């Protein structure tokens, strides 16, 4: 996934350092029915395929059970997952001709087809993606359950020989993104999404998922992992973006409801990458005072969002402000910035009458 607009020059020189430090610290069937949910109201959870594995079915059920009952708020597994691409038409990859190669500064280049990859030990986990180019309260942030293989299990087969210790991921649509090999620790090459084969719009037959980073680094339609001998800019870095670093902490306001008794309910999602979200606070007086919001129970994986909700007594128009605290105890920055070049930051504000 990648930003939707062109940015001016001026990418941060600290990009590689923060990427490496974070990476080192991280360690189609027919639809059978709809998952049951612990919520009595709010959007329905995602459907599950008839042939879903026990692991997938259990994980999706957990997400449904943990989702909060807030009308207008997506459950913990997104019903519609955003897409942003560099071309108007997605590539149509013939899986029978497709392969993944590890090339460049390696002891031995390797090439694998999809059956080679599917025969490897796999894992299934939730992962949230947020687009670096979205506005602060935008909706280009979603969560899904992915199944795939450990990317480093494949890279290490080729025995990298690079002093640079950096890689370029390349895709069938001519997209490319560079970052340190260390950022791949804990990363996945996914071939299923929510128990189904990866959709074309999300990179069929294989895409990268790099923990805790902006969506653009999670290259779709992956065809090559090139181990570089020297650093090089990726597609969006050449256009002035610094989007390959760790995501900014954010809490969003996406639901405003009037309850039957006249009280107001607000809700949204909060996300802080692999740091996790430990708290969300809501102010109904423009930031003068704060109250802890109710949070959805956390999903079992590190790189996922949480839902929040808050109910208050209306008294004319209120300026509602929301902020999150990540799992390290660090409060979301109040400093406001646009998406260029490193992602939007600040506290989300919304007038509720």
The pLDDT value recorded for residue 45 is: 84
Residue 350 CB burial class (10 angstroms; 0-12, 13-18, ≥19) = middle
The answer on pLDDT for 32 being more than 60 is no
pTM score: 0.88
Q: For residues 100 and 222, is the Cβ–Cβ distance under 8 A?
A: yes
The pLDDT value recorded for residue 242 is: 83
Q: For residues 349 and 268, is the Cβ–Cβ distance under 8 A?
A: no
- The strand pair at 291-292 and 294-295 is best described as unpaired
Q: For residues 35 and 248, is the Cβ–Cβ distance under 8 A?
A: no
The answer on pLDDT for 34 being more than 60 is no
Average pLDDT value for the chain: 89
Q: 245 pLDDT band (50/70/90 cuts)?
A: confident
CA Rg, the chain, in Å? 21
Helix (H, G, I), strand (E, B) or coil at 194: coil
pLDDT tens by residue, 143-201? 999 999 999 999 999 999 999 999 999 999 999 999 899 999 999 999 999 999 999 99
The answer on pLDDT for 345 being more than 80 is yes
DSSP character string of 66-118: H----TT---SS-SS-----SSSS-----TTT--EEEEESBSS-EEE-HHHHH
- Report the alpha-carbon distance of residue 213 to residue 236 in Å, rounded: 14
- Tokens 């560099």 belong to which residue? 86
The pLDDT value recorded for residue 3 is: 41
Percent over 70 (pLDDT), the chain: 88
The pLDDT value recorded for residue 41 is: 61
The answer on pLDDT for 131 being more than 90 is yes
- Report the alpha-carbon distance of residue 263 to residue 315 in Å, rounded: 10
Helix (H) / strand (E) element for 25: namely helix 15-25
Q: 11 pLDDT band (50/70/90 cuts)?
A: very low
pLDDT tens by residue, 309-318? 999 998 899 9
- Strand ranges across the sheet with 291-292: 291-292, 277-283, 318-326, 348-352
């Amino acid at each position: 996934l990648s930003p939707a607009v062109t940015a001016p020059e001026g990418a941060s020189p600290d990009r590689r350092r923060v990427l490496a430090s974070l990476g080192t610290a991280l360690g189609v069937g027919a639809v059978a029915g709809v998952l049951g949910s612990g919520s009595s109201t709010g959007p329905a959870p995602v459907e599950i395929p008839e042939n879903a594995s026990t692991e997938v079915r259990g994980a999706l059920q957990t997400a449904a059970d943990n989702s909060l009952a807030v009308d207008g708020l997506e459950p913990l597994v997104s019903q519609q997952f955003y897409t942003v691409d560099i071309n108007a038409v997605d590539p149509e990859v013939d899986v029978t001709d497709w392969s993944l190669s590890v090339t460049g500064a390696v002891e031995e280049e390797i090439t694998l087809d999809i059956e080679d990859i599917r025969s490897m030990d796999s894992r299934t986990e939730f992962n949230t993606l947020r687009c670096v180019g979205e506005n602060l309260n935008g909706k280009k942030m979603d969560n899904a359950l992915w199944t795939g293989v450990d990317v480093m299990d494949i890279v290490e087969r080729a025995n990298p020989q690079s002093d640079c210790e950096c890689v370029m991921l390349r895709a069938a649509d001519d997209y490319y993104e560079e970052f340190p090999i260390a950022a791949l620790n804990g990363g996945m090459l996914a071939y299923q999404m929510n128990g189904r084969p990866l959709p074309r719009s999300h990179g069929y037959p294989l895409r990268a998922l790099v923990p805790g980073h902006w969506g653009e680094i999670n290259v779709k339609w992956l065809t090559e992992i090139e181990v570089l001998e020297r650093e090089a800019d990726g597609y969006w870095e050449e256009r002035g973006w610094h989007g390959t670093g760790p995501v900014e902490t954010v809490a969003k306001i996406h639901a405003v409801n009037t309850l039957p008794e006249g009280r107001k309910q607000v809700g949204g999602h909060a996300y802080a990458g692999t740091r996790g979200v430990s708290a969300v606070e809501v102010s109904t007086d423009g930031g003068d005072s704060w109250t802890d919001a109710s949070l959805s129970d956390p999903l079992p994986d590190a790189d996922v969002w949480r839902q929040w909700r808050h109910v208050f007594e209306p008294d004319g128009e209120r300026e509602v402000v929301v902020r999150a605290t990540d799992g390290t105890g660090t409060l979301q920055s109040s400093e406001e910035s646009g998406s260029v070049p490193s992602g939007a930051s600040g506290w989300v504000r919304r007038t509720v009458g």
